[in-house]
């Protein structure tokens, strides 16, 4: 009886201890998340306004395209100034979680200015890659200033949560998608593993950032499906085919991005020459195409795809333009081009088979997103927040199919594969060999 009473007392004590720990965690991250959400939300909102201004400016002043070589030299000089002649971009943020490497604060203004110049010169790039780097850098800075991991009230891993909060906040401030931004920031580091301890902090900081962005009237793009067809097996079959083909497109885009960067670095050792060559090639491509459709982010191509006004080769052209610009050293994000590539491919697919344009455009966009990021849960929520809930049943299907068939490819070489995509087993120890096979195949 005495032993039983002792065991009961110990269990009650542990329950009380866990409850107290949870309360401390909740209060601590409630305060920290608000701080990160406000600071990073403001930075993300101002960045969104800057990119919007740059886009509007080059569209009304077409000559900025020919200033791209000068902008490129400035970008290279900026990175040389911060001693990052071979910058790792978003991979740097991903590496910081696994290795504990510090993300310098100077990374935030550098990528901010560089992305602005890329967009001002009509370079084919997005904004979210810069957002992840800005947010990760600011989250890391705030965490270290508040001495996370250095006091009795915080764990060493808390700095990682602060980085994730920063990433989620800046992403959601730009896109107005707090749930998918939060899950993406938890899911991107290691495929098959989510950092659940960051769930409440990321969600809270993301919603705060979205609120800040709204107060600043930050422009947000959404492509909501107005009508979705009733569930039927014929359409399900077409969505499976679309997802399978989009997985191939995602692989093509990932390979093009990696190989273009490798070729540039192999042929042109000097980063200044490399980025000028990229600028000249980009200008030539634009002139030869006879269109500015593939310059800048390209959200207008998604709008055209949803209305059925899409060219069959548009997705290939966007891949080419983005690889030429970003492979040579111009800065920005890869996710907006990913959305455009997936959307235009989905629109072309709908046009070829006589299917609903809106649904195929949205599904192509989401299938391409999961194919290059390997983040299936975030991709489903991205579909909900970015395109509305009417196509949720089809989103889930295309995400599942594209996630599996895209294999171990992806945009981020630092991303780890903790679990196999096709077998119920842990592959953490084999992650390096899997990545090498992926890159060499």
Residues 283-303: tens digit of each pLDDT? 999 999 999 999 999 999 999
Backbone angles phi, psi at 150, to 5 degrees: -120, 5
pTM of the model: 0.90
Mean pLDDT of the 174-200 span = 90
What does the radius of gyration of the chain's CA atoms come to, in whole angstroms?
A: 22
Mean pLDDT of the 226-231 span = 85
Report the distance separating Cα 381 and Cα 376, nearest Å: 9
Lowest mean pLDDT among 190-199, 339-348, 421-430: 421-430
Owner of token pair 């599904």: 363
Work out the angle between the directed axes of helices 392-405 and 357-373 (0-180°, nearest 10). Answer: 40
Mean pLDDT over all residues of the chain? 88
Residues 412-432: tens digit of each pLDDT? 888 888 888 877 777 764 444
Lowest mean pLDDT among 72-76, 224-228, 370-374: 224-228
pLDDT of residue 144: 87
Q: Is the pLDDT of residue 155 over 80?
A: no
Residues 158-183: tens digit of each pLDDT? 888 999 999 999 999 999 999 999 99
Burial of 300 (0-12, 13-18, 19+ CB in 10 A): middle
- Identify whether the C-beta of residue 198 lies closer than 8 Å to the C-beta of residue 29: no
Three-class SS of the chain: CHHHHHHHHHHHHHHHHHHHHHHHHHHHHHHHHHHHHHHHHHHHHHHHHHHHHHHHHHHHCHHHHHHHHHHHHHHHHHHHHCCCCCCCCHHHHHHHHHHCCCCCCCHHHHHHHHHHHHHHCCCCCECHHHHHHHHHHHHHHHHHHCCCCCCCCCCCCHHHHHHHHHHHHHHHHHHCCHHHHHHHHHHCCEECCCCHHHHHHHHHHHHHHHHHHHHCCCCCCCCCCCCCCCCCHHHHHHHHHHHHHHHHHHHHHHHHHHHHHHHHHHHCCCHHHHHHHHHHHHHHHHHHHCCCCCCCCCHHHHHHHHHCCCCCCHHHHHHHHHHHHHHCCCCCECHHHHHHHHHHHHHHHHHHHCCCHHHHHHHHHHHHHHHHHCCHHHHHHHHHHHHCCCCHHHHHHHHHHHHHHCCCCCCCCCCEECECCCCCCECHHHHHHHHHHHHHC
Owner of token pair 């902090």: 201
Mean pLDDT of the 356-385 span = 96
Alpha-carbon distance values, 247 to 123, 231, 298, 367 (Å): 25, 23, 21, 7
- Identify whether the C-beta of residue 165 lies closer than 8 Å to the C-beta of residue 31: no
Owner of token pair 């993406």: 184
Single out the residue of 356, 316, 320, 364 nearest to residue 339, CA to CA: 364
Mean pLDDT of the 111-125 span = 95
Report the distance separating Cα 72 and Cα 55, nearest Å: 17
């Amino acid at each position: 009886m005495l032993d039983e009473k002792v065991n009961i007392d110990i269990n009650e004590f542990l329950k009380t201890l866990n409850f107290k720990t949870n309360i401390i965690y909740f209060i601590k991250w409630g305060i920290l998340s608000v701080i990160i959400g406000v600071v990073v939300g403001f930075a993300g909102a101002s960045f969104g306004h800057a990119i919007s201004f740059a886009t509007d400016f080059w569209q009304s002043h077409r000559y900025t395209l020919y200033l791209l070589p000068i902008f490129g030299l400035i970008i290279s000089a900026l990175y040389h100034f911060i001693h990052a002649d071979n910058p790792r971009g978003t991979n740097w943020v991903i590496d910081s979680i696994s290795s504990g490497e510090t993300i310098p604060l100077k990374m935030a203004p550098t990528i901010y200015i560089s992305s602005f110049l890329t967009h001002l010169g009509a370079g084919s790039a997005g904004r979210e890659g810069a957002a992840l780097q800005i947010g990760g850098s600011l989250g890391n800075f705030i965490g270290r200033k508040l001495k996370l991991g250095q006091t009795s009230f915080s764990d060493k891993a808390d700095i990682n949560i602060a980085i994730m909060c920063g990433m989620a906040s800046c992403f959601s401030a730009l896109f107005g998608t707090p749930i998918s931004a939060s899950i993406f920031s938890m899911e991107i580091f290691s495929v098959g593993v989510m950092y659940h301890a960051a769930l409440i902090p990321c969600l809270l900081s993301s919603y705060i950032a979205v609120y800040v962005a709204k107060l600043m009237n930050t422009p947000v793009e959404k492509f909501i499906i107005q009508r979705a067809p009733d569930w039927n097996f014929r359409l399900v079959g077409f969505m499976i085919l679309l997802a399978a083909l989009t997985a191939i497109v995602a692989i093509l885009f990932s390979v093009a991005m990696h190989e273009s960067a490798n070729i540039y670095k192999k042929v042109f050792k000097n980063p200044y020459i490399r980025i000028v060559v990229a600028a000249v090639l980009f200008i030539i491509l634009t002139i030869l195409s006879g269109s500015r459709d593939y310059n800048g982010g390209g959200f207008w191509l998604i709008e055209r795809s949803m209305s059925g006004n899409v060219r069959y080769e548009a997705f290939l052209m966007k891949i080419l333009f983005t690889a030429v610009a970003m492979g040579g050293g111009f800065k920005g994000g890869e996710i907006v081009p990913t959305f455009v590539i997936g959307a235009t491919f989905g629109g072309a697919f709908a046009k070829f088979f006589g299917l609903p344009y809106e649904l195929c455009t949205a599904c192509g966009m989401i299938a391409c997103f999961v194919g290059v990021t390997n983040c299936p849960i975030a991709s489903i929520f991205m579909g909900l927040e970015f395109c509305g809930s009417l196509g949720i049943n089809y989103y889930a299907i295309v995400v599942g199919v594209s996630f599996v068939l895209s294999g171990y490819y992806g945009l981020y070489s630092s991303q780890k594969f903790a679990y196999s995509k096709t077998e119920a087993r842990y592959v953490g120890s084999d992650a390096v060999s899997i990545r090498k096979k992926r890159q060499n195949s």
